[in-house]
Every structure is written in C-alpha cells, then in structure tokens.
A and B are shown apart, each in its own frame.
Chain A
Amino acid sequence: MTAEAGVPDISATRAWVARLKLGLGTAARHRSIQVGGVLFGFIVLLAIFADLIAPFDPNKNNFRALLSAPDAVNIFGTDAFGRDILSRVIHGTRLSLLVGLLVVVATGILGVIVGTFTGYVRWLDGPVMRVMDGLMAFPGILLAIALAAVLGPSVSNAALALTITFTPRTARIVRGSVLVLREMPYVEAAKACGASHARIVLKHILPNALPPLIVQLTFVFSVSILAEAVLSFMGVGPPPPTPSLGNIIAEGRSYIQEAPWVALMPGIAIAMTVLGLNIIGDGLRDTLDPRLRNL
C-alpha cells in the first residue's frame, strides 16, 4: 500500500481502481465468494427480470381462487386476494434487493462523509460522534420502526429509516480506518509535499479505508433486507398492494394453519437472499479485511 506514496502522479480515480482491483481480484478466487455469488447472482437475475419470469401480475386479484393450495397453475399457491404467490415473491425479492441497495448506497455515502470528517477534522469528531453514539444506543429495530412511523409508509421511507439506523455504525468503521491511515508515513509525506486536504483524503486515505467499508456494507445489505421485512411485518413498510416479502408473511400469518404456503414461501426467499449475501460477506471479510475474520 505504501508504495503508492512514491508515485505521486497516479490520479485519485486510479488509486481507487487499483485498490479495488487488488482486493476484488483476490476475492473472486475465494471459494465462498464463488458459492455465494452463484446463489445471490441467481436471485439478482430473478429480480431484474421479474416482469418476464413472474407467471402472473403480482397484483391481479382473483376472488374465485382465494388461498388455493400450490398446484400446476400457481406453483406456490395463492394468497387471500387470490394473487399468485410465486409472482409476488419474485417481485417482493426485487423490492427487498432494491431497498437493500438503496440503504447500502446511502449508508455508504453518508458513512464515508461522516466517518471521514470526524476522523480527519478533529473538532468535529467529539460532537458528531456523540450524536452517532446516541443513535447507536437505540435498539436498532425500534429506532427504524419509530422513524418509519414518522416518515409514513413507502419504499423510499423504509430505506431512509434503515439508512439513519445503520449509518452510525458504518461511519464509525470509516472513522476508525481514517484515524489509523491519517498517521501513516505516506500521508505525512503527501502533506509535506503540500498536497491539499481533499487530495490526501480522496487519493491516499479513502482508497485504503475501502476494504473494511465494503465488508461492512455487505453486512448492511443483508441486515437491511431482514429489517425491511420486519418493518413490513410490523405494518410500517411499503403500503399494500406492494408485494414486499414482509407484507406477504404478515398477511399469511393469520392463515398459518389453513394456508401455510402464504407465509412459508416469502420467508424462504428472504433466507436464501440473505444467506447468499452472508456467504459473500464471509469471503470478502477473509480476503479484504483479515483483521475482522473473527467476527
């Protein structure tokens, strides 16, 4: 890593790309990443091509086929509206991934901004991190539910509530890396050469803070998918008739004896998606951030 310090002409972008290539190159050869990648990749494909793959319109009601058991037409059966559960699960998975992605992107951006500023600008550190500590002291899911209640139910608000909930932990990780990297000799050297703060941060510090961030964001991704399901289940997620996996489970809860397929199938879909992400996360942790291997 320190080698970069001796090559002052590499542009910031190229520093990032180099760091990423290094990490992801190793990662791609890791076995759990391959296994998780296949599982997760399959789910992502299902989600992207949901409109083509889902056999029916997920919101098409049919009051003559309420809660019908799985058969050749409705492979996963139908729900209390007569809607095809397979189609709803496929679209629901797309929504879960979308929420997860939104949260990852937003948390990543906010986490980097807050983490870098608090790590780099000393006088900001105290007050901002106290706010972050305060947010982290809430039981996460309760905070998300309260936020979702304030914001009102919608896909973007669910994502926002989860972003606010997960940003502090991410910011803390970025800050930790920045605090260490700031003291590195090559950063000192760049400073001595008169490099601007922006240049130091963008070129020398952030690229090297990336690996633990990526690992954390994989974790945020899988936890957001689980948390979105909880929000929907508690009735503060995306409103009906949105096919969200948590909504489908919540609706199926009343029929767990008469029509167990309603609640069962979306649960399995969540578990598979999160499992795929967790396997990838394990691999990334191993290759990108050996210090975290224990957790």
Chain B
Amino acid sequence: MRKKKWITNKAKLRKALAIPALVLGIAASPVVGQVEGGELVLAQSANPPSLDAMTSSSETARNINMNIYEPLVAIDENVNPIPMLAKSIEPSEDLLTYVFPLRQGVLFHNGKEMTAEDVKASLERYREVGATRGMLDKVKEIEITGDYEVTFHMSEATPTFIEGFSSPRAPAVIIPAEEAAKPANEIEIIGTGPFKFVEFVPDDHVTLEKFADYVPNEDFDGPTGFGGKKTAYLDSAVYRIIPEAGARIAALEAGEVQWADQIPVPAAKRMSADENLNVYEARQWAFMTFIMNWNLPPTDDVNFRRAVLYAIEPEEVMAIATEGFYDLNHGWQYPGRTYNAGDIGKEIYESAHIDKAKEFLAMSDYDGEEFLILTDPNYAEHSRAAVVLAEQLKPIGINAVVKQLDWATVLKIRLTDEGWNGWTLMQGLEPFLGPYGIAAKMRGDQTHMRGTADVFEESYNRLITGKTVEDRQKAFAEIQTAIYDLVPQIKIGDVGRMQAGSARLKGFKPFRAPRLNDIWLED
C-alpha cells in the first residue's frame, strides 16, 4: 500500500483505513445465544418519502434504507469513516486522488456481483440526484481503474472530504449500474445490504427480508456503526407506519410490534418498570435550535436578536419541549467531541438575563412589531419549544406570535425572507456528524439565517482546510464565539430520543437508524 497522508481522526482512523484487517468492530461476535429466524416488527412515525436512498435525507427513509443499501465508505460506532464496500481508502499525499479498491464477491440482491462499473454508475447518479450531492463537488472525475477499483480525481485538496463522503444523511450507496441509469425514485430497490426489499404499502408497512447471499465484510470482527461485519439473524422485518405516539406505545405493549421509535418520555418512564420491555435512551439525539431570520425586521437588527438570546431561559424550554429528557448544553458540539469549544457562551446561555435583554431591546429599533415564531405540528418538540419561547419573550416587551404551519409549508417559507423571524428546528445529523454541517449553515448563499457575516465565511474555510485538528478546533471556537455575538441561531439544548423494544429483542443498540443486523428475537 502506498504511503499516504491521512487527515481526519488521526492515528486510530488511519490504521483502520490503511490496514482494514485490523480489529475494529465492537466485540459483538462471541456473544452467546443468537437465535436465527423470526420476524421483527418495528413501528415508526411516518412513511419513508423514498426508498431510493440517494434522494432522501429523511430519517424515516434512512431507518429502512441503511439496512438495504451500503456505501463505499460508512461510519463506525464513533462516527469515524470506515471502508464498507471499499476494501480500503487510499488518498494520495497531495489529496488530489483517492483510490478505492473494492471488496470482491459482494452480491446485489438480484444476484449480480458488484464491480467498479456499478460503483462509478452509482456515484455519477449521485451527482445528479443525490440529496447531498454537494459532497462530491470537489470530485472532478471518477475513473474505473480496475474491475474492482475506482479512483477519484479531485479538483482541489479537501482534508475533510472522506468525512463528508461517509455521511449517512442521504448516503451515496452503490446500486447496480442498470438501476443507476434510471431517474430519481424510479429504480428497483436493489442494494447489497443484509436485508432486501419486499414491499411497501404506504401508510401501512414496509417489509424487508433477509438476503441469504449477503457477503459479510470479513475485514472486521463484528458490526460497528453502519458498517463492519454484519450478520442477519432475523428472517424478515416489517416497519409499520404508526404516526400516533400513543398508538405506537399501545402496539408495543400489546406485543404487536417489538420495537418502536419516538416514545413520549412519560410513557418511556412507565414502560421502564415493565420487565417485558426495554427502553433505549439515545441521549445526544439532536440540538434544539432557534433560528433567526436576518432579513426581516425586527430580527435584521443584531441588538434585537441579542435581546432574544438573553431573554431565553433554556431550562424551561427544554423541560417542556422534550418532556424532560434533555441536557443543557450551550455548545454547538456535544460534550466530549473533538470540536467542542469549551465554555464559550456558557455564561450567556445558563439562564435568562432579563435586564441585559431589556438593554439590548432598548438599543434596537424595535417598535412592538410582531416577532413571528415559525413552527410545525409534525414534530411536537418544535411546536412546544415555540410556545414556551413566545411566553418567555412577551414579558420583556417582545410581541411574540407563534405561527404554526404544516411541515411542507414551513420548509418552503424558511427559504424566503418573508413570513418568519424565528424558527424552531431540531438538528439531528449535523451535530452528530461533527462541526461541518453546523458551520455550513451559517456561510454561503444557503444559510439558515438568510444572510451571513464575513466571520462565518472565513472561519468555515479554515475549518474545512485547516491542516491540523488544532487549527480546525480554533476555527470552530471562533464560529461559536460569533454565534453568541451575532446570533444567527440560538442553541436551546440537547434533545434526547426514547426508543423501546420488547425484552425478546436482543443485541439492539440505538444508533442514527435502527440496525436490523446482529439483533435477534428470543423465543
């Protein structure tokens, strides 16, 4: 193997990538008592918008797609990139080419073997229809350099390229070349994952079954993240679409489903006393954020935005919005993560500073106009946070009005300058994947706050191109400082996610999507 300069998470990662045979999987292999067979019924809240994995960054699609499809590069349990369908990742010294030797003998669900042809066709398709196709922007050309090897030629060196490429948001999965020729959402659902697609009845269920000819990745000892050596024990899995939380709980308790997502916290507390059920707490699931519109008065005024920032009492918002399952965190990275910027902003965040807020309000041009808080009923947390925020802002003299529209309308309105001042949004994948997604939404021409400031542009560039981790950490710390000064978004806290399953379900560990591999049902 060529010697290469490796960029992200340092030694551990480099070893893992360059010498993939090294033990990396979480030690799941010799656990005793796995049971083969059975059907697992999972309950989730909404239809997958698409089972064409490249085209959708929706969570409900990912929950299913991550079991059907696999990408070249996946993430491990600690969100570091690992080869999945690639045998290894071999960047050149100057980071202008990446060679991806492929694993041989990997079969698609249609029985065909995966080759470089399929990989190139899939990634070319991703550039066309991929929901996050921007991650391939710096790839000038994808060249087939062998039956089982592709090479990326880059237009410029991007130290963080592989991290972006491994993102499961709208994963760059590999599908057969003949499917890759088809437009978005018109493919046959064929992947290389341990489960294959059977049927989708919208508003009712999606059925997958075990792919008997699945070729596990023997470079790993066991499963990790969305990669590693996966083993399917279940015969089949049915995702039932149950929008109503109460109905999901009831179905779980009645034994109709063995796993359910998005359990309201009061129910989770009650269920944890039930020995037939397991409650899974995914603590660091998302950031609750309050996004400001910089282009519409009164939030075009930085002093007004500061008044909002200082008037907020995060604990009350979080306690109500999350039904009590939250962590107070001022940071724009989770505690303990590489890019966590320490105490920057902590003092402002910790509690409301009413006098300070009033001072800023007095300094602003605010004249009693409506402060429109955009929110939606589809995510109860958004709506509850908006209501509490409005109630907190009224006493300092801000005329806060909750504007609740359905999700489809919210997604459209927030892309305009009109009709909203603040927007409550849970950001899940961005903080999960690290600092880039967070920072990216504050620079360029597609920001959340509809404007930008030089400091965000400059710091972002240093974050992306910084040669050492320390350089990049410094860049992110600057971004966090600027966030607490210019207020493009307000961090309210960290939201947890409750999931629950039958006690018969073994081996399950919460992750960004439920993994059907390496879990089994006891009799």
Contacts and interface: CB of A to CB of B under 8 A. Distances in A.
B380 to A, nearest CB: 7
Contacts of A152: 405, 409
A259 B391 CA distance: 24
Nearest to B323: A80
B523 to A, nearest CB: 28
B387 A240 contact: yes
Contact of A254 (B267, B377, B409): B267
Contacts of B472: none
Contacts of B510: none
**What 3 A-B pairs come out closest when comparing CB atoms?**
A235-B377, A239-B404, A63-B319
A254 B242 CA distance: 12
Contacts of A59: 391
15 contacts: A63-B319, A63-B320, A81-B320, A81-B388, A153-B404, A239-B402, A239-B404, A240-B402, A241-B390, A241-B391, A253-B246, A254-B267, A255-B267, A257-B249, A259-B266
A37 B64 CA distance: 56
A66 interface: yes
B517 to A, nearest CB: 31
Interface string A73-101: 00000001110000000000000000000
Contact of B270 (A66, A236, A253, A257): A257
Contacts of B383: 240
A4 interface: no
A82 B404 CA distance: 21
Interface string A201-214: 00000000000000
B343 interface: no
Interface in A30-47: none
B428 interface: no
Contacts of B244: 253-254
B147 interface: no
Interface in B373-425: 377-378, 380, 383-384, 386-388, 390-391, 402-406, 409
B21 to A, nearest CB: 48
A66 B319 contact: yes
A163 to B, nearest CB: 21
Contacts of B297: none
B323 A256 contact: no
A245 interface: no
Interface in A239-289: 239-241, 253-259
A114 B388 CA distance: 45
Interface string B176-191: 0000000000000000
Interface string B459-484: 00000000000000000000000000
B324 A66 contact: yes
A82 B403 CA distance: 21
B245 interface: yes
B264 interface: yes
Interface of A: 59-61, 63, 66-67, 80-82, 149, 152-153, 235-236, 239-241, 253-259
Given A63-B319, A67-B266, A235-B377, A255 B246 contact: yes
Contacts of B249: 257
Contacts of B264: 254-255
B108 to A, nearest CB: 41
Contact of B267 (A61, A149, A257): A257
B320 A241 contact: no
B414 to A, nearest CB: 15
Looking at chain A's contact residues, is the secondary structure mostly helix, strand, loop, or mixed? loop
A149 B377 CA distance: 13
A63 B246 CA distance: 22
A256 B384 contact: no
A60 B319 CA distance: 15
B316 A61 contact: yes
Contacts of A63: 315-316, 319-320
A241 B324 contact: no
B255 to A, nearest CB: 16
Contacts of A256: 246
A152 B402 CA distance: 13
A253 B264 CA distance: 11
Contact of B391 (A61, A66, A67): A61
A240 B391 contact: no
Contacts of A235: 377-378, 406
A255 B391 contact: no
Nearest to B270: A258
A240 B404 contact: yes
A61 B386 CA distance: 12
Given A67-B266, A235-B377, A241-B390, A81 B384 contact: yes
Contacts of B391: 59-61, 241
Given A59-B391, A153-B405, A258-B269, 18 more contacts: A60-B391, A61-B316, A61-B320, A61-B388, A66-B323, A67-B266, A80-B320, A81-B320, A81-B387, A152-B405, A235-B378, A240-B404, A254-B246, A254-B264, A255-B264, A257-B249, A257-B267, A258-B266
B408 to A, nearest CB: 9
B320 A66 contact: yes
Contact of B380 (A254, A257, A259): A254
A263 B387 CA distance: 19
Interface in B242-260: 244-246, 249-250
Contact of A241 (B315, B316, B387): B387
Contacts of B378: 235
Nearest to A239: B404
Nearest to A148: B406
Nearest to B248: A254
A258 B266 CA distance: 7
Interface in B334-378: 377-378
Nearest to A64: B319
Contacts of A258: 266-267, 269-270
B406 A149 contact: yes
Nearest to B315: A63
Contacts of A241: 387, 390-391, 402
Contacts of B270: 257-258
Contacts of B409: 152
B384 A80 contact: yes
B459 to A, nearest CB: 35
A240 B320 contact: no
Contacts of B246: 253-257
